[in-house]
Amino acid sequence: MAGIYSVRPTPLGHISTPLLWDEVVQGVNPDNFHVRSFRYRIKGVGDLSIVMQQHNDFTTILHYFT
């Protein structure tokens, strides 16, 4: 498990980054989220960590995990 914005032990220094739903639907390349590109991400979409502080209802997807 990794916390928000934690750097992963990879050659690129991938960063665990919250995503917008549009990004998930389009498909995500983890190589786009690393130490060198991170400041551009924050500048472009802002700090998405606020989403993690909101109440999220996951009951509609729990059946995928049972």
Domain spans of the chain, in order of start: 1-66
User: Which run of H or of E encompasses 52?
Assistant: helix 49-53
Helix (H, G, I), strand (E, B) or coil at 56: coil
Arithmetic mean of pLDDT over the chain? 86
* H or E, element range at 40: helix 38-45
Residue 10 has pLDDT above 90, yes or no: yes
% of the chain beyond a pLDDT of 70: 95
Q: How many CB atoms lie within 10 A of CB 4?
A: 14
Identify the CA nearest to 37 among candidates 14, 59, 58.
14
pTM: 0.65
Residue 15 phi, psi (nearest 5)? -120, 130
